Amino acid sequence: MTLAVSTFRRALAARCLMVFVLALTSLPAAAESMQCGTFTAEDTGTTLTLQSPNQGFRQIPEQPPEPYLVSRLGNEMKLADLDNGGVWSLTVQEGGRLLSDGVSAYRLQRAARCQPASVFPPTSCRAQIGTCLHDLPLANSATLRQWCEEGVPAACKGLLANYQSEARDAPNAATPAEDDPELAEPAVCKPDSGSYDQAACLEAAREVMGKAMAKALLGGLAAGDPAPLPAAQLDEITALCRAQTAGTFCAKAADALWAAGRLLPARDALQLACTRGQDPRACQRAAPLAGLDARALAPVAATALPCGSYLADQGLMDHLAFGDGGMIDSGFGGKLRARLVDGDIRVRHDQGDDFVFKTLANGNLIGMDSWNRFGYYQRVGEAQQCSAPVVYVETPLPQDCPGIGRPGAAQACCAAGKLQGCNAAGHQLALSDRWADATPFYLKLCAAGVREGCENLASVYEHTGDEQLPAQIQAICAKDGKGTHVACDVHATRNWALLQVSAGLEAIAARMAAEAEDDDSPPDAPAKAKERPASNRKGGR
């Protein structure tokens, strides 16, 4: 199923790209004479430099240069973007001194002598750039690797995307539906079986889809960490990056290497993205890491949470202030809780995943997640002592409602005490903007020790401003008398005052929308016709 979705997306991308590349499928190396030099768009400051009859690059301010293969035919110029795989068309005017794409006009600022046109091997991607870019979205890894080695960074990025897709799909591929008895094709759906029945097959298919949805909802709505690439593929993208002379592939490679824990190769790839790719963002990220040796970038398994302040030059969390019980001042008016997981320091946040930090051999920290990647956190200030973190008791969200996809099934499962049904029923109402109606379902989850339930109650408060909710979460916390219920952690790490402000702003927006709706009603409309059912109002209030 995942492979089919991936193939569909790539096919869609191919069809979209086809519109732009059909005119480029037979680019001549140099169809007509070219005015070389630097052209500038006065409205944006973007420059286009034509170096030879068939090569050039565009420079958008504060962005890396975009390498192009160029061809002119009559008064039309085609530019094939080697880094991103797109095609750009320009109209040649004023004898080649003005180039226009209908939005921006590029006027010649500095003329230059054209370098000789580059000659590419006849079967190479660059020699057949139109066909190559047309085929790139559906090309296999072997073909992409060949084109990458020929100096087409878009193919390098396509190869890396293939590897990442394979790594992401690997767990699903290892447990296909036919290996899962609950998701196997029912006998009534097999034409060659003695029990084939079309009507029964439709009903059985609904049951299987319900079970598949239940499995998908097993972990709630949280997203997992990206899967690391195999060692051989990491070695390969490291070598391919070193061979590149332009484009943004090395920045992409640095991300993948860093996520896999290969900090030194990632740092080097980032530096190449800066020096060869001239990527300002890569230069900014590489600067704090430039002087670090292998020991400074050697991660070790953490055995205790840090205590005290750590500062970094980059990252969303550029200041980490670890205090008692693993509590961190977020810097945004709230608190976050750190915990140890398999030697990593993980910090929960409200975007469905964790901030992840590793301890280095020199005692500093490094940011590993996408929000804080490449952040190097150095200890500042005097040594401090912090109390040990509390270990909260959590109940994993069970998979106990296989028919969850049927209408009314989630509510029925919840009424029968099945927590996955409560989770799904709450989500269905929340996604319909009926936040208040979702409250009892999330309360059941929270009381049972399911973290998602407690966190979703905070989301309900953010949308409704129901003043009972913080007290209800606190009451669940106090019930066991130990302070270890997961509700205690959620209550302590939420900025309730800020959430209340958000609820107030949402209520004002809803009221303004209702007033605007009333203003648009016919003058003779009955008053009751202007009222909305309470269950459909913002927050159900």
Q: How far is CA 157 from CA 7, 151, 375, 514, in A?
A: 17, 12, 24, 48
The two tokens of residue 37 are 């030099």
Question: Quick one: pLDDT at residue 37?
Answer: 96
Report the distance separating Cα 105 and Cα 123, nearest Å: 35
Report the distance separating Cα 293 and Cα 296, nearest Å: 5
Report the distance separating Cα 530 and Cα 527, nearest Å: 6
Beta-bridge mates of residue 137: none
Question: Quick one: pLDDT at residue 23?
Answer: 36
Report the distance separating Cα 382 and Cα 360, nearest Å: 19
The two tokens of residue 86 are 């797109």
Helix (H) or strand (E) holding 205: helix 198-216
3-state secondary structure of 32: coil
Which residue's entry shows tokens 């029968």? Answer: 416
Question: Quick one: pLDDT at residue 28?
Answer: 41
CB atoms within 10 A of CB 216: 10
Question: Quick one: pLDDT at residue 195?
Answer: 64
Contacts of 354 (CB under 8 A, 6+ apart): 346, 347, 348, 369
CB burial of residue 537 (10 Å; 0-12, 13-18, 19+): middle
Question: Quick one: pLDDT at residue 180?
Answer: 43
Report the distance separating Cα 504 and Cα 152, nearest Å: 52
Please check whether residue 184 is in contact with residue 196, taking contact to mean a CB–CB distance below 8 angstroms.
no
Question: Quick one: pLDDT at residue 197?
Answer: 66
Task: Provide the CB-side half-sphere exposure for 135 (13 A, CA).
Answer: 14
Please check whether residue 496 is in contact with residue 507, taking contact to mean a CB–CB distance below 8 angstroms.
no
Residue type for position 531: E
Please check whether residue 357 is in contact with residue 372, taking contact to mean a CB–CB distance below 8 angstroms.
yes
Beta-bridge mates of residue 311: 319, 378
Contacts of 201 (CB under 8 A, 6+ apart): 186, 188, 189
Q: How far is CA 295 from CA 260, 363, 374, 384, in A?
A: 18, 11, 16, 25
Report the distance separating Cα 264 and Cα 292, nearest Å: 9
CB burial of residue 84 (10 Å; 0-12, 13-18, 19+): middle
Question: Quick one: pLDDT at residue 406?
Answer: 83
Instruction: Label residues 501-512 b or e (16+ Cβ within 10 Å = b).
Output: eebeebbeebee
* pTM, 2 dp: 0.72
Name all contacts of 327-333 with Cβ < 8 Å and 24+ positions apart: 327/492, 327/493, 332/495, 333/495, 333/497, 333/498
Q: How far apart are the two ends of the chain, measured CA to CA in Å? A: 41
Report the distance separating Cα 447 and Cα 490, nearest Å: 12
3-state secondary structure of 485: strand
Question: Quick one: pLDDT at residue 188?
Answer: 59
Closest CA to 411 of 445, 389, 452, 441: 441
Q: What angle do CA 439, 488, 444 make, to 5 degrees?
A: 30
Residue type for position 362: N
Question: Quick one: pLDDT at residue 6?
Answer: 40
Report the distance separating Cα 130 and Cα 476, nearest Å: 64
Question: Quick one: pLDDT at residue 214?
Answer: 41
Counting as low any pLDDT under 50, the low residues of the chain are 1-31, 173-183, 209-224, 525-541
Question: Quick one: pLDDT at residue 2?
Answer: 34
E runs forming strands in 152-235:
none
Name all contacts of 240-243 with Cβ < 8 Å and 24+ positions apart: 240/145, 240/148, 240/149, 240/156, 240/159, 241/156, 241/269, 241/272, 242/272, 243/149
Helix (H) or strand (E) holding 460: helix 451-464
